[in-house]
Structure 1
Amino acid sequence: MSTTETASPTDSSAPRVGRKKRATRARIVECAIPLFSEYGYDKITMESIAKAAGISRANLYLHFKAKAELVDAMLEQLSPEVVDSYRTLDSLDPADTDRLRRWVEDSSQLWVDRRRQLETLEHALSVEPVVSQRWYQTLSEAADAMTTFLGRYPDGPERQRARLTLVTTMLGFERTLYFVLVRSAPADHSDVIDVLTAQWHAALAGATTPAATHPAATHPG
């Protein structure tokens, strides 16, 4: 008997069911983001998200148990773009400040193009520990993708400090872009780009922070 003859209807329908589930999840996230952005993350309920997506609340809970899971799904979509951006940064010559500035400009454009998603992220970061952990994980993955920079340092504490330099610079970079481009902080955009370029130049071209000497570790003889 052939494989076709023994295959069950369930086998042939499984891919279709999977596609439908993914499409429903994507639609839910797509409908939730503008709600979070317009009304605030804490004010939007799962019921209002279900209504916007055109599904029942019970159906919504089959896909997402809480709002934090919605934001996590959004980050899952966004993270590869963020990691790829920092991988591109790692390929640049730190001394080439013109190209470095263009990278900063391109990265700032991401905050313009993904304004609603990133605004939602910022809202959720303050109230959802799982979202904070997921975003930090994304930046950690981005730092790990910068293998050229990290490869300049021997494995061990020195490389760990170099990695921490990247992550902390990323955190400051992302927060600055949020306040300037999403919250419209009173700062000249061109000046901000110049300062961010200088910060990345210093991080990529300079030495990492040396190990601290803790006074408490020194005992009198």
Structure 2
Amino acid sequence: MSTTAEGKTRFERRKEATRGRIVHAANTLFLADGYVETSMEDIARAADVAIRTIYLHFDSKAAILLAYFDEWLDDFVDALIARPAAEPIDESVARALDFLVQNGWDGTPFGEMPGPHPTVEFIGTGSPEIAGRIMHGWGRAQDALTAHYAASGEYPAGSFVPRARAAAVFASWVATLLVFRDGFGGAPLDAQATGNSVGEAIIREMNSGRL
């Protein structure tokens, strides 16, 4: 069986490509039609795969949604860790988010969104199982960021700054979701606002000392 330079067989690469196609097709449908309204059959058609193929990769619609979130969070944490550990946290977040958009993650303005992303709906409402899994993911991300900042040598042993930096990242993410939830509920929100621009603005305020 042929193996690539990365050590993966062609079969493994095809399997990953199919899985990615399913995840991103589902996310597009969740945004356009809503999470509840999207069926596994809809996802199969959009991804151009048989319904049985989806179940080879995922046991539920929730698992597909969570896979998208996990991939985004992993890429976000990696982008943050690539930034200098002593860089102001608002700058690190802004650069990391810009990097994600440049590499294909969604940056749709509020005015062009047909509805809230499911992660917006599941924070505070919706399935506790899904919200709980999202919080578990963020718990792991918090630990990874804290360990990175603590090991950087920029802060003295026992400093709370590494944990505070990680906590600020998480807080800005939650606040961004709530701002968009409010926007879809009728609160004023600029049509050109994106998740990234709102997140950057929130963490900039958090780091300004004005709160």
TM-score (norm: length of structure 1)? 0.60
> Secondary structure of the equivalent of 1:41?
coil
Q: Of 106, 109, 124, which residue of structure 2 is paired with 1:114?
A: 106
CA distance in 2, matches of 1:201, 1:90: 19
- The equivalent of 1:69 in structure 2 is 63
5+ residue gaps, structure 2, are 109-115
- The equivalent of 2:112 in structure 1 is none
CA distance in 1, matches of 2:188, 2:24: 30
Q: Which has the higher helix share?
A: 1
CA distance in 1, matches of 2:200, 2:57: 40
> Secondary structure of the equivalent of 2:49?
coil
Q: Of 16, 20, 24, which residue of structure 2 is paired with 1:26?
A: 20
- The equivalent of 2:42 in structure 1 is 48
Report the count of equivalent residues.
Answer: 181
Task: After superposing the two structures, state which structure 1 stretch, 106-115 or 72-81, moved more.
Answer: 106-115
Check the 8 A contact 1:50/1:56 in 2, yes or no.
yes
Change (3 A) 1:191 1:17: closer
> Secondary structure of the equivalent of 1:43?
coil
C-alpha deviation, 1:152, in angstroms: 3.8
5+ residue gaps, structure 1, are 1-10, 95-99, 203-221
C-alpha deviation, 1:44, in angstroms: 0.9
C-alpha deviation, 1:89, in angstroms: 6.1
- The equivalent of 2:111 in structure 1 is none
Q: Which residue identity does 1:121 align to in structure 2?
A: T
- Identity, in percent, stands at 24
CA distance in 2, matches of 1:131, 1:153: 36
C-alpha deviation, 1:175, in angstroms: 2.7
Q: Of 64, 76, 84, which residue of structure 2 is paired with 1:82?
A: 76
TM-score (norm: length of structure 2)? 0.63
Change (3 A) 1:171 1:55: same
Change (3 A) 1:173 1:90: farther
C-alpha deviation, 1:93, in angstroms: 4.4
> Secondary structure of the equivalent of 2:9?
helix
- The equivalent of 1:199 in structure 2 is 206
- The equivalent of 1:186 in structure 2 is 188
